[in-house]
Each structure stands twice: as C-alpha cells, then as structure tokens.
Structure 1
Amino acid sequence: MINEKIWHEKLHRHIGQYFSIDKILYQKKNKYHDIVIFQNSIMGRIMVIDDVLQTTEKDEFIYHEMLTHVPIFYHGFIKKVLIVGGGDGGILREICRHNSIENITMVEIDINVIELCKKFFPRHSNNAYKDPRLKIVIDNGLNFIKTTKEKFDLIISDSTDPIGCGNDLFLSEFYLHCKNHLFENGIFVGQNGIFFLQKNNINQSYKKLKKYFNDVSFYQATIPSYYGGAMMFSWGTDNMDLRKINATNLEQRIKNTQLSFNYYNSKIHISSFYLPEYIVNTLNKS
C-alpha cells in the first residue's frame, strides 16, 4: 500500500525512478494485480501495477502509436487483429482509427484493469471500447492463444513486464502459438522492456522468437516515463520482404489513411529499427 507522498518504482533492484504523488485516486489488490492510480503534476494520472509503472496520461501516445502503426503500415493489408493485454485501451484506440481493419479481439486477464482505465484514463481508449468490430475475452493470454481456432493478420502483445502472470507472455510456448495463429504474412509484435536494464530478458525473447519466425528484430522508441533508456518492441514475421518497403511507398500508405499522429511518422518508423551498436552486438551473440 502507498501511504507516502513519493512513489518509487521497484522493477530494478538498485536503481529506479521516483514520482511525487499529488493524490491517490485508486489503490487495491486483487487476485491478479496490486493496482495503484495516482495524480502527478507533470505526468498527469499514472497507473502502477505490482510496483511497476504501466502508463501515464502525458506520454502514453508514444508507446501506443509505435506498437500499433509500425506493424500495420509495414504489412499494408491488416484485417484481423489480436491484442493480448492492453486493458488501458491505448492500443485499441489506435487500431480503431484504421477503417480498413475488420475484426479486433482483445484478451485481458483482469477485467478490473479495463473498467478502471475507462474511469480514470478515458482518453486512452477514447470510446474505442464501443467499436462494433471489438470482441473482448477475459482470459489468460497464453491459455487463449493455445485454445483458440482463430487466425490473425497481426498479434500485439501489450503485456506487463515478465513477472507474475505477465511472465506467460514471454514464454517460448506463447511465441509458438502466436506463430501458429497468424495468417500468411502475419506479424507478431510485443512490448519487450528497456535493453539497458533488461538485457537478459530481451536476449531470451530474441532466442525464442528466432525459433519460430524467419524475420526477427526489435525496434525502439524513447518514452519519458519508462526508466533506463529506449523501450524495445519485438518483431516477428515469416515474410522477409515486409520491412523492405521503401520510404516513399511507406509514406504513401500513411497518407492514404489520412491519419495524423503525435509521435509516429515514416522517418521515425524506418529509423526505429536502426539499433545502437551495443544492442546489435549483444543480439548477434545470442
């Protein structure tokens, strides 16, 4: 329970970040998560799950735009999407902006997260939960992907960090079933943490994904509220040509949608796959 005026993130043992608490808006532990929502004068409302920062009002758009639009525009013909996690609604909001997408399934283990974010973070979902294309399934993400008979063009794993029930979404078994439930040319992407502080986790994801996909990589975005450097997103597909689209054609795809963004653009998109040498060297040794 939080009783102080300062919240300290406990994801990393010896270092971390602090946020002042202007007001605690919600604080409760259920069978899945220990959830705290509080107000901060700079970042707005902040949601913390199991002592790890999940999302803020101020900079959520960076994370959600990059995890959504990079695979959608690289693919070019996404019709059916699976979101695993994502109960705050930000990924759903960005997907729903694409009129060409016909079917959206969201699998969230804790319906309480969805209801809390509708109440305390309404701009995250921006009424996307009312979209008729959406089907919500309350289930463990691993269990769903093991048992479903459906296939998808895009699977987005918007998970918590690999602790507690979130660990299931970083298992080799999860990646295998995601691969088996993608259509031809389908794409898997997922949140994969901060390389500088979570190198071992990201190396393990890379090794596991390489077992199942022909084209495996990571791309990145700098998100102020996540401590320790650039956020890494995993990428997996069997179509080696998807990432070969040139900048002109990519820009045309974006223009054809007539969408505008706060962070994402074609140059950010392409450059996000160019990783620092210390990351490249580490992955090459995996």
Structure 2
Amino acid sequence: MQDKVIYYETLHQGYGQYFEVEHVLFEQRTEQWHLSIFETKSLGRVMALNGAIQTTERDEFIYHEMLTHVPLLAHGQAKKVLIIGGGDGGILREVAKHRELTSITMVEIDASVIEMCQTYFPNHSAGAFDDPRLNLTIQDGLEFVRQCNEQFDVIISDCTDPVGPGEVLFSSEFYQNCQRLLAPNGIFVAQNGVPFLQPDEISNTVRRMHSYVTDCTFYMTAVPTYIGGNMAFVWATDNQMAKSVSLDELQLRFTRAGLATRFYTPALHQASFALPAYIQQAVASALTVTE
C-alpha cells in the first residue's frame, strides 16, 4: 500500500494543520519560494506558498466576498476600484459583480501567477479577467502606488502574509500612498492575518496606518483554512460613518446591486465590525504610537 502524501502547513510556530494530498498538480522551487498546488478530497484544489496556505477551492468564497462586498456596499457610490495583488482572480470576480463600477484597476507583480491560477483555479476568476472595465497592470504594488496619481473609491489589498516580497504591502509607506490615492470618502481594506495567532499584525498595522486616516479599525470573519480563529481585515477611511451604515440601508444596497453571494449578507456585514475585547485593547494601545 502506498503511503499517504501529507502537506503540513508551517506558518505558525508549533501549531498547524495538515492536508492529505490526492495529487500534486504543480510544484515550483526557487531561492525565494516553494509553491505547491495539489488536489484534496475535503477542500478541492489547494495552493500553498512557503508553507502557508494561500487559497482553496472550497472556502475561497468566504474570504473574497467579505474583502470585497463589505467596503463596496459600505461606500454605496463607488465607481473606481483598485485591487493590489489578487492574482488568483477571486477578488476581481467579486468586484466585477458590481455593475455600477466604471473602472477596475488590478496590479499584480507576476503575470505567471495569473496564468497559473487561470489554469488550476479557473473558478476563482470565472472569466472576470475578460471584463472590459479591467485595467490590468503587471507591477510591484508599492511601486504602483508610489507612481500613480489616480483616485479610487475603494482600494483592496489582497496581499500575502507580511514576509518576503509581501512585506512591503504592510509598510507605512504603502499605507500612506494608498491613502493619497483614496477619493473623498474612499475606503481601504486588506487582509491582516489571524490575530489570535498573529497579534503583532494588528498592532503593527494600526501604528503604521492610523496617522493617515481618521478611522483605522478592523472587521472580521472566519475562513476555515486560515486557522487559529477569525481573520481580521484592516479598515481605513476618513469617512467615520461608513462602518455604521444601517442594516436597512445595507439591505437596500445589496438588493439594488443584484449580488449573488454564498457567504456575505448585510447582517453579517454589520456584525463583522463587532470586535473581541482583546482586539479592541490592541487597537487602543497601538493608537498611541506611530511607526
């Protein structure tokens, strides 16, 4: 009998999860990274980078819907969106559902990531790369926001963990430039890790971001394969009312947009801003320091 092939995630020291691998579909090793795409029975296809799970077919919709529809429906009048990262196409797929948008700009550092994900994860993008509103730019995200002079109503940073090449997308310079690119009442969001296991990411983001906006906080949701509790998304805007839109108004905007979702609901949207006490305390403490 052939031994089972097991993939162990090593993102967290001394704690993790494993996946029984049915088939390895793609694997690449360089000096900078080890990328694996493999098939599982429980979660479908899985992508892992340097020992950290990036996305799975089965639960990707939770992450992508919450990182997209919360800022767009909270804004209510967005026309222009900037996506930084997101080469798998999941954020783009959800953004493209908003028919009222006139322009979608997407910045991805590596064109091969897009090609690979269209091959191995076609349902993530579901044809969204063919949307005529899309302006796709292959460039480093930090370089793009340094050089860009457009303004956007919503900026979504779909970044990896703050290690290696992805670390600059958690820097003070990156946040400052993103704020510069926000139109009046614009909203910036980004994934910010699982705070129960990555508590420093909350504090670091607040220290680096809060001096540039009047409202720097987080909202949360649970994504099963991002283990260790709820995932946090940073929320940054000068519109202090945006996170407090009433449930009736969110329902109206959701219905008007004609969205088909599998996870997001207006009630979940509103509830996602209710933060546990330990995160409230971490935010309050970090607000007293600027990095």
CA spacing shift, 1:112–1:29, aligned 2, 3 Å: farther
1:170-181 paired onto structure 2 within 5 Å: 170-181=170-181
Cα deviation per residue 1:200-246 (whole Å; 9 max; x = unaligned)?
12211012111111011100110111111101000000011222321
Structure 1 equivalent of residue 182 of structure 2: 182
**Unaligned stretches of 5+ in structure 2?**
287-291
* Distance of aligned partners of 1:30 and 1:113 in 2 relative to their CA distance in 1, 3 Å threshold: farther
Alignment of 1:48-59 (within 5 A): 48-59=48-59
**Residue correspondence of structure 1 range 41-80 to structure 2 within 5 A:** 41-80=41-80
Gaps of 5+ in 1: none
1:62 & 1:268 partners in 2: Cα distance? Answer: 11
Q: Is the Cα–Cα contact under 8 Å of residues 90 and 125 in structure 1 kept in the other structure?
A: yes
Equivalent residue letter for 1:43: L
Tell me the secondary structure at the aligned position of residue 185 of structure 2.
strand
In the alignment of these two chains, the number of paired residues is 284
Q: Cα RMSD between the aligned structures?
A: 1.3
> Whole-Å Cα distance in 1 between the matches of residues 122 and 81 of structure 2?
22
SS state of the match for residue 192, structure 2?
strand
Query: How far apart, in 2, do the equivalents of 1:174 and 1:17 lie?
Result: 32
* Aligned counterparts, 1:89-108, within 5 A: 89-108=89-108
SS of residue in 2 equivalent to 1:39: strand
1:222 corresponding residue in structure 2 = 222
Runs of 4+ in 1 over 6 A off after TM superposition: none
**Partner amino acid for 1:273?**
F
Alpha-carbon offset, residue 50 of structure 1: 1.7
1:258 aligns with 2:258: yes
Task: Provide the C-alpha distance between the structure 1 equivalents of 2:176 and 2:62, rounded to a whole number of angstroms.
Answer: 28
Q: Which digits, 9 at most, give the CA deviation of each residue in 1:65-90, with x for residues without a partner?
A: 00000000000011111100000000
SS in 1 for 2:99: coil
TM-score (norm 2): 0.95
Residue in structure 2 matched with residue 285 of structure 1 by the alignment: 285
Once the two structures are TM-superposed, the CA of residue 4 in structure 1 deviates from its matched residue by 7.4
Alignment of 1:59-208 (within 5 A): 59-208=59-208
Q: Distance in 2 between matches of 1:153 and 1:32?
A: 34
Secondary structure of the residue aligned to 2:189 is strand
For residues 227 and 162 of structure 2, what CA distance do their matches in structure 1 show? Answer: 16
* Rounded Cα–Cα distance in structure 1 between residues aligned with 2:243 and 2:69: 13
CA contact (8 A) 1:187 1:237 kept: yes
CA contact (8 A) 2:4 2:20 kept: no
Conserved in 2, the CA contact under 8 Å of 1:62 and 1:264? Answer: yes
Whole-angstrom CA distance in 1 between matches of 2:88 and 2:261: 19
Compared with structure 1, are the counterparts of its residues 30 and 92 closer, same or farther at alpha carbon in structure 2 (3 Å cutoff)?
farther
State the match for 1:36 in structure 2. 36
